Structure 1
Amino acid sequence: MGNSEEPNKPISLYESSSSPSTPLLAKPEDPPPPPSPYPDQPESDPTQYLQISYNHDPRPFKDLPFLILFVLVVLATFGVGIFAIFHRNTNYSNLSSYEYDSDSTSCVKNTSLSSPTNWASLTSSSSSFLRGLTWTLVITLILSLPIGFSLLWLLKNYAKQVVYASLPFFILFPIFFDVYWFVACTISSSCSEAFPLVYRILLLVFVLLVVGVIVWIFVANWHRIELTICIIGVSSDALSRNLGLFGVLPFLTFGLVVYYAPIVVFLVFARLNGKIAAQESDGVYSCVWKQDAWVPAYYALAILTMLWSLTVMVEAQVFVISGTVSQWYFTKEDSTPRRIIRSSLRNAFGPSFGTVCLSGLLIGVVRIVRTIVDGARQEHRTGVLNLVLRCCVNALLSAIDFLNKFTIIFAAITGEAYCSSARMTYELLKRNLLSAVFVETISTRLLAGIIFVLSAIYAIVACAILKAVSNLGVDSYFVAALAWVLLILVLGFFVHVLDNVIDTVYVCYAIDRDRGEVCKQDVHEVYVNLPISRNHRPSSMITRTLGV
């Protein structure tokens, strides 16, 4: 390399800051590469990060200890569960036939006592209610699929119109339900007696104040809403090109339910392991069921296995979504590559399954610790130290939860181990000065608000139809509320997938920006407007700005 400088030559992404005249990875006779499309990108060592892209090569197994640990936990749960089935005590169902024998100081079976089985007959007070509930839920489940795909199509082509049409309902619906409840409770004698006028007025004013806060949030973040609409639009387009995910992800959920079925059976039979023993209370002896000492431990093991398996399946779904969308993103042609979902599934449950297990374990621990912290808060434990500890713990858990999402996305793209993915993801976003919090918060809340509005509109229409064609009376409100919950769950699944697509496209854009390439021009036209993170501004940025 020569030491001569050319002051009029632009700095390339692939040039060293110490020797700007010659590319670092090019031969001396090669022409210099074009300037970076992102002149504000900080310089870094190109030899370390140029290879970040989707890894199509065969991947080695990563995080094997956690894979082995997960398999051992599952095998232990199933092994002890099978033992519990064959080791059960059949006398459990005949407990009422045993009585205490003072001569032998033990419980013996009294053959004169019969153990009749009294089955409680579960009858419906109204057959029309069950019929109306069943038909409403079935029709809602059937209609939820076209409603979800229609919402995806609308977000892809008319995201701005959908968001602007939904925003007023974020305010109108709370006001409507608040005023409706206030009037209905005032008219009803039973409700007015349970809630005096002062409490009804306080609740009415409180909800109106909350609505005022929502309006203020909209006004203060209006410029961010404009950008978020564009992000939702391009991400919906990415999801529409990978619709096969909607066939695979529910299948994975169904597989988790099938996997849970034998564990539930093991838990039922585990409680049958024990013996009938005498118990003394206030000088009176009775026969009770005494479980074996290992049964509570098995209950804890089985429940922890189910929780870990749940978080592993959730992280595996994120892995599959990320791997599928990233393969589409890094394909520069307009056509979608073939078998990308199959490839993502193979990586998720193959070489990277240990990484998925570790990610699921961390998320499970975060959820358990957060539940403990919330439980301690509900116990009204006072003190400055407790308050500070809760704030620190919540901040740490939020940071782990936030970092984990982008770590599993990066692992799905590159096939790296969990710790390497976490470090490289942090450095990738830090080098490119991107603000991940912006993408994480606003888009999620907007999508949640949209499905809430659609579900509420559907529930109102369903309630009106039920009142017109049935004689359910006040039960129609309960049926409509259940239909509202069911539609929210189905649309929430669509939004969950779209939310992960937004994060995946975001990481892919960061990789593009880091490499100085443009794989999807429409994505870059939107994501280039993301706010720059002010937390990390290296000196090279300042130097370049001053023209030095």
Structure 2
Amino acid sequence: MAADDGDPTKFAAIYDSSSPSHPLLSKPSTSALDSPRRSDPESDPTQFLQISYNFGPRTFKDIPFLLLFDLLVLSTFGFGIFSIFHRNNDYGNSSSFTYDFTSSSCVKNSTFTKISDGYYWASSSVMYGMVSSSDPVFEKDLIWTLVVTLILSVPFCFSVLLLLKHYTKQIVYACLPLFVLFPIFFNVYWFVACTLSSSCSDALPLAYRILVLVFVFLIIGIIVWIIVANWHRIDLTIQIISVASDALSKNLKLFVVLPLLTLGLVVYYAPIVVFLVFARFNGKFVPRELDGQYFCEWKEDSWVPAYYALAILTMIWSLAVMVEMQVYVISGAIAQWYFSKEDSIPKKCIRSSLRNAFGQSFGTICVSGLLICIVRVVRAIVDNAREENTQGIVNMVLRCCANALLGALDYLNKFTINFAAITGEAYCTSAKMTYELLRRNLLSAVFVETVSTRILTGIVFVLSAAYAVATWAVLRGVSNLGIDSYVVAVLAWVLLIVILAFFVHVLDDVIDTIYVCYAIDRDKGDVCKQEVHEVYVHLPISRSTRSSLIPNALNA
């Protein structure tokens, strides 16, 4: 069965013009089974179309992009090592160089070398003394607070996952009022505190405080409107989050692998940053004339700006590749769980996903990462042009074309990497097959359930805000920070919300992967996970279609 799942001739059947355009939701009738066309697989290959997780051996895909990425990385490291050994140790010692009228060049004056070095060492000592003379109590409390927050974030994430798995309905309905009450509390609190504080009231006049207060209340009103407008989809969202949390709880090793991948990216970045620093040391002092006076000026080698562009491009592409690799690993692990038997979980599923991600499918991940980089860069250029208020019909047409292109790429890339992780196909093949798969089964490639992401984001905000308030109360009771306790509490809130945002990102990827697996099930007329079908069958075909889920289905 594994060999059949990876057979490209079966995948090619999707592109046949005779492929049915209706979902295969029901089992074939008896007459269909008895027909000669059904009994002869070669007469119509689409009759036995099977798309499932490819457990068999996979071949390398998108090799040109893999070689291009490797070439950029090797060039970055190669020229970086060259910059270290080719550096000019006189960088920064401009005072030790003087203009020689005889040779019309800058020559090093050994008399000032030691003085210059001593000056720089003295300056460094003074700067170090200024930096180290900050408040030691604030630094100590801040470091301890962040360390404790980082340690507590691990059991905190697991607790949130278990609560979402077993008590999703209670958690969501308990947090929904807090989505509004917490912002109202913080808005009123800062307004009153700033009014009572003379320094704050002097820095921010009453008119500006009222303006900020009203603006925040308008944002809160928008949040209330979003909740009311999507109230009919709350029950469906609860079930989707519950199913995704259950699937994620079956693959808890992802919370070890994914942070390690992020840590690996940081380690990978470290030498590149060092290379960028040493690249500045490649150059020489050249004479420059100003108002008839000659002095020596540092000039970088001509290749240094090009190396900066190369290194930055490599770092951006590597970041996008790491993000897509995490999605690939999540999709591979969840897909193996989905297509396994009810009572069995595949062993070493995360290891096999990592092996495929760093092996046969690495080129596919590079393509996806490159497309993400292009989309982000082009979108930043378009947004910058819009902020500059550039007038003209040509600029307007160009912006519309760019937005249409970016929307098409987002549409194309939505589930492509998830499908590639399941089948092991190349990027373009996966994109086309995903579109055809969802089209045949009347599913949307854009809409899964965006409300789930908004609710999860709101839950993260509520929990992290509650933690920040508790942190501030503890600091006020055990330390003498005073007003600095607000700063420490805010930094702890930022750290926790970043970690929980990563948790939400993982859960979103799980939801998308289960959606693709559900589409594959519908295409085959199969049911691998009954609890998934009972929930995902209620997803609307388009954003304007309301869910037909009966609210009391949760109590069934």
**Same fold flag (TM > 0.5):** yes
- The one-letter code sitting in structure 1 at the alignment partner of 2:288 is Q
Question: Is 2:288 aligned against 1:279?
Answer: yes
Question: Is 2:25 aligned against 1:27?
Answer: no
Match of 1:178 among 171, 175, 187: 187
Alignment of 1:35-184 (within 5 A): 47=46, 50-113=49-112, 114-115=115-116, 116=118, 117=121, 118-119=123-124, 120=127, 121=129, 122-184=131-193
- The one-letter code sitting in structure 1 at the alignment partner of 2:39 is K
CA change 1:243–1:135 in 2 (3 A) is same
Question: Is 2:223 aligned against 1:214?
Answer: yes
1:5 aligned residue: none
2:365 aligned residue: 356
TM-score normalised by the chain length of structure 1: 0.88
**Separation (CA, whole Å) in 1 of partners of 2:256 and 2:505:** 15
1:223, CA displacement in angstroms? Answer: 1.3
**Separation (CA, whole Å) in 1 of partners of 2:434 and 2:260:** 30
Question: Is 2:377 aligned against 1:378?
Answer: no
**Separation (CA, whole Å) in 2 of partners of 1:323 and 1:168:** 37
**Separation (CA, whole Å) in 1 of partners of 2:181 and 2:533:** 36
Unaligned runs of 5+ in 2: 1-23, 546-556
2:260 aligned residue: 251
| RMSD, aligned α-carbons | 2.4
**Separation (CA, whole Å) in 1 of partners of 2:442 and 2:248:** 26
SS at match of 1:433: coil
Asked if the contact 1:182–1:200 (Cα under 8 Å) also holds between the matched residues in 2, the reply is yes
1:14, CA displacement in angstroms? Answer: 6.6
Moved more, 382-391 or 316-325: 382-391
Alignment deviations for residues 19-50 of structure 1 (CA, whole Å, 9 cap, x no partner) = 8574576438x9xxxxxxxxxxxxxx771772
Match of 1:499 among 489, 492, 508: 508
Alignment deviations for residues 523-543 of structure 1 (CA, whole Å, 9 cap, x no partner) = 11111111134999xxxxxxx
1:230, CA displacement in angstroms? Answer: 0.4
1:94, CA displacement in angstroms? Answer: 3.0
Alignment deviations for residues 211-233 of structure 1 (CA, whole Å, 9 cap, x no partner) = 12221221111111210110000
**Separation (CA, whole Å) in 2 of partners of 1:411 and 1:523:** 21
**Separation (CA, whole Å) in 1 of partners of 2:36 and 2:482:** 78
**Separation (CA, whole Å) in 2 of partners of 1:93 and 1:24:** 85
Match of 1:521 among 510, 522, 530: 530
1:473 aligned residue: 482
Moved more, 108-117 or 154-163: 108-117
Asked if the contact 2:435–2:445 (Cα under 8 Å) also holds between the matched residues in 1, the reply is no
Asked if the contact 2:172–2:238 (Cα under 8 Å) also holds between the matched residues in 1, the reply is yes
**Separation (CA, whole Å) in 2 of partners of 1:343 and 1:249:** 14
1:390, CA displacement in angstroms? Answer: 3.2
CA change 1:12–1:442 in 2 (3 A) is closer
Alignment deviations for residues 435-469 of structure 1 (CA, whole Å, 9 cap, x no partner) = 35442521111111111111111001101110111
Alignment deviations for residues 287-317 of structure 1 (CA, whole Å, 9 cap, x no partner) = 1110000000000000000111111111111
- The one-letter code sitting in structure 2 at the alignment partner of 1:366 is V
CA change 1:21–1:450 in 2 (3 A) is same
**Separation (CA, whole Å) in 2 of partners of 1:262 and 1:25:** 62
1:311 aligned residue: 320
- The one-letter code sitting in structure 2 at the alignment partner of 1:129 is F
Moved more, 62-71 or 402-411: 402-411
**Separation (CA, whole Å) in 2 of partners of 1:132 and 1:275:** 46
- The one-letter code sitting in structure 1 at the alignment partner of 2:215 is F
CA change 1:173–1:398 in 2 (3 A) is farther
1:179, CA displacement in angstroms? Answer: 1.3
Asked if the contact 1:100–1:287 (Cα under 8 Å) also holds between the matched residues in 2, the reply is yes
1:73, CA displacement in angstroms? Answer: 1.0
**Separation (CA, whole Å) in 2 of partners of 1:24 and 1:501:** 41
Aligned identity (percent) is 69
CA change 1:93–1:111 in 2 (3 A) is same
Unaligned runs of 5+ in 1: 1-10, 31-44, 537-548
- The one-letter code sitting in structure 2 at the alignment partner of 1:151 is V
Asked if the contact 1:312–1:356 (Cα under 8 Å) also holds between the matched residues in 2, the reply is yes
Question: Is 2:274 aligned against 1:262?
Answer: no
Alignment deviations for residues 264-300 of structure 1 (CA, whole Å, 9 cap, x no partner) = 1111111111111112223222211100000000000
CA change 1:152–1:418 in 2 (3 A) is same
CA change 1:386–1:181 in 2 (3 A) is farther
Match of 2:334 among 311, 325, 336: 325
Asked if the contact 2:99–2:107 (Cα under 8 Å) also holds between the matched residues in 1, the reply is yes
Asked if the contact 1:14–1:25 (Cα under 8 Å) also holds between the matched residues in 2, the reply is no
CA change 1:124–1:377 in 2 (3 A) is farther
1:447 aligned residue: 456
CA change 1:440–1:417 in 2 (3 A) is farther
1:171, CA displacement in angstroms? Answer: 0.7
**Separation (CA, whole Å) in 2 of partners of 1:222 and 1:307:** 39
1:434, CA displacement in angstroms? Answer: 1.7
**Separation (CA, whole Å) in 1 of partners of 2:488 and 2:346:** 44
2:492 aligned residue: 483
